[in-house]
Structure 1
Amino acid sequence: MGVTVNPTVSRRRLGSELRRLREVSGMTTQQVAERLLISQPKISLLENGHRLIKPRDVRDLCALYGVQDQRRVDHLMQLARESGQQGWWNSYGDISYGAYIGLEAAAAAIRSYEPMVIPGLLQTPAYAQAVIAGTIPHATAEQAATRLQVRLRRQSRLGAPRNPLRLWVVLDESALRRVVGGCEVMREQLDHLIHLSARPHITLQVLPHDVGAHPGVSGQFALLEFADATDVSVVYLERFTSDLYLEKRSDVRRYSDMYAHLQTQALGPDRTRHFLDDVVKTYGGTEFCPDLYRSGHGVQRVQEPCPSMS
């Protein structure tokens, strides 16, 4: 059986190695750009793992940096070849967050804070379908179906027989109270969370409303950590138009400290399961039923609460 190649990781490792070689040579990115007749931003993108590089360009850079070890040159050229391969997510077409999927697929551990919705790795199919429909209202039926397939396939990391993803999640209470898809969907989703939280490699904590202000009020973030010591940890910030990836050690340290504070303020895993049990009961047994009414300001949507929540 062949070794599975993750092009995102290969590109990041290659960029990191090229940056290290340049720094050892004493050259600046501007000097490298002038010698190779390319733009300085291109050098920065290559070193940050945000741009593909051809094997022959790697060879030219190694020559410029004075690398004498041919085995090392061959290794870096092989990383360049691997970085140009396709990840499994590419078979689904143009996925806007493909870079994140590549990092997630290679991560050994993820620490995630979610303020508004259940994180994708823990979503049931019905909940995921409702989230996609609500957050991407202009998506075609085919695009929505593709998103759902990709999301569910990502979840395979949690059930991997060898080295399953180590996942910590701090979930704001708002995500539990926000009725996505209806009462039945929410009840199924929360039962699913309770079931998953019993797995040894998944730690779930709820941050109750009565905690008040906390370090996560500015929004969602995730910390991705990797088994290989050469792979730098990444902070992922999901945004509407373009996501952010922070790799500076100072940024990673800052978000790690924020996450530690959130974990301290959140309920422990056992209390979280009891909390989820209580929230599940509030959804009763009647389907959520939105209604429409007209006012002088146009059509507005009114969501009638589930009977047991009123």
Structure 2
Amino acid sequence: MATAGGPTVRRRQLGAELRRLREQAGRRIEDAATHLECSMSKISRVETGQAPIKARDVRDLLEWYGIADPQRIETVMQIHKDAQQQGWWAHYGDVLPSGMATYAGLEADAQVLRSYESMVVHGLLQTEDYAHAVIAAFQPNRPDETDQLVRFRKERQALLTRQPDPLELWVVMEESALRRPVGGKEVMTAQLRHLAEVTALPNVTLQIMPTSKGAHAALSGAFSLLEFEPHTPTVVYVNSMAGNVYLEKERDVRSFIQTFDLLRAAAPDPQEAAVLLEQITREMQDS
């Protein structure tokens, strides 16, 4: 059983192990819920890493599942202990949209992030002014929260330069998102120049999907694939007005991986992104 990673990955590892042990013991979710005197939804959320569980309840379940090996029990309890730690994003808990803390934890633990963006520049590649304009558009009457969310986004961007293992980021972005003058012409021009600079990092790859390309495999909307250490399942993240969706079933993940591969194949090579960025920047300045 893998035990490395931050608190979000540890919580998912704990849940996966508790689910495996429950199934191995021939118990159902409703049985576990009855045993702990809680709801089935609570057990389901614990087993998917979306809800916390008390240490005494973990020990109770391990005993009920027939786990008697002291070393095995200690390993599970250590994962539980590590899962209780708070990430840096907890400081923004009062202003983060629902589900964003979970995403921040997954992103912080990821080794590779592959994303498709259709409407805006990817959050890890945004300038402060651009991020402020985007966030303010969603919540125009809450300027204090907007400032905090911009700082939160800025802290996330440190993943791209962390040492010794910076996040590997591969983004396929629609050309139309780069031509939308978010924040005005000056803000957008600075954003385009920033993109040219940050995508020069060896761990950042950008492909721009030309509007002239027409239909492609991801017209249904933006998504991200978060990949972790070996033996930790990839997670698909889909953000929409209806809320955040996390997919972990192998069939769902495989479908999104195939979609991203089709996108990469359909978009021009990453080397061409710099040329198009320069062209769009000139046109933005001349408009």
TM-score range, shorter chain: over 0.9
Q: Residue 46 of structure 2 aligns to which amino acid in structure 1?
A: L
Instruction: Tell me by how many angstroms 1:142 deviates.
Output: 1.4
The equivalent position to 1:144 in structure 2, one of 135, 138, 146, is: 146
Q: For residue 213 of structure 1, what is the aligned residue in structure 2?
A: 215
Distance 1:202 1:38, change over 3 A: same
Could you tell me how far apart the structure 2 residues matched to 1:45 and 1:93 are? Answer: 20
Are the aligned partners of 2:36 and 2:57 in contact in 1 as well (CA < 8 Å)? Answer: no
Q: Residue 159 of structure 2 aligns to which amino acid in structure 1?
A: R
Q: Residue 282 of structure 1 aligns to which amino acid in structure 2?
A: E
Q: For residue 248 of structure 2, what is the aligned residue in structure 1?
A: 247
Per-residue CA deviation, residues 16-64 of structure 1 (Å, 9 max, x unaligned), is 1111111211222122223333322221111001110011111011011
Residue 238 of structure 1: SS of its match in structure 2? strand
The equivalent position to 2:131 in structure 1, one of 111, 128, 131, is: 128
Per-residue CA deviation, residues 110-154 of structure 1 (Å, 9 max, x unaligned), is 00000000011000111111111112223x221011101100000
C-alpha RMSD over aligned residues: 1.5
Q: For residue 205 of structure 2, what is the aligned residue in structure 1?
A: 203
Residue 173 of structure 2: SS of its match in structure 1? strand
Q: Residue 135 of structure 2 aligns to which amino acid in structure 1?
A: I
Distance 1:228 1:54, change over 3 A: farther
Instruction: Tell me by how many angstroms 1:241 deviates.
Output: 4.5
Q: For residue 232 of structure 1, what is the aligned residue in structure 2?
A: 233
Distance 1:27 1:215, change over 3 A: same
Q: For residue 29 of structure 2, what is the aligned residue in structure 1?
A: 29
Residue 283 of structure 1: SS of its match in structure 2? helix
Q: For residue 70 of structure 1, what is the aligned residue in structure 2?
A: 70
Instruction: Tell me by how many angstroms 1:5 deviates.
Output: 7.2
TM-score by length of 1: 0.87
Q: Residue 276 of structure 1 aligns to which amino acid in structure 2?
A: L
Instruction: Tell me by how many angstroms 1:264 deviates.
Output: 0.6
Q: Residue 104 of structure 1 aligns to which amino acid in structure 2?
A: E
Per-residue CA deviation, residues 79-100 of structure 1 (Å, 9 max, x unaligned), is 2233222211111232221000
Where do 4+ consecutive residues of structure 1 move more than 6 Å?
none
Are the aligned partners of 1:111 and 1:169 in contact in 2 as well (CA < 8 Å)? Answer: yes
- Corresponding pairs, count: 281
Q: Residue 90 of structure 2 aligns to which amino acid in structure 1?
A: N
Q: Residue 267 of structure 2 aligns to which amino acid in structure 1?
A: A
Could you tell me how far apart the structure 2 residues matched to 1:145 and 1:186 are? Answer: 19
Could you tell me how far apart the structure 1 residues matched to 2:279 and 2:236 are? Answer: 33
Residue 169 of structure 1: SS of its match in structure 2? strand
TM-score by length of 2: 0.94
The equivalent position to 1:106 in structure 2, one of 101, 109, 117, is: 109
Could you tell me how far apart the structure 1 residues matched to 2:189 and 2:12 are? Answer: 41
Unaligned stretches of 5+ residues in structure 1: 285-307
Determine which structure has more spread, i.e. the larger CA radius of gyration: 1
Pairing of 1:5-24 with structure 2 (within 5 A): 6-24=6-24
Could you tell me how far apart the structure 2 residues matched to 1:171 and 1:164 are? Answer: 21
Unaligned stretches of 5+ residues in structure 2: none
- Of residues 211-220 and 70-79 in structure 1, the stretch that sits farther from structure 2 once superposed is 70-79
Residue 208 of structure 2: SS of its match in structure 1? strand
Could you tell me how far apart the structure 1 residues matched to 2:35 and 2:183 are? Answer: 58
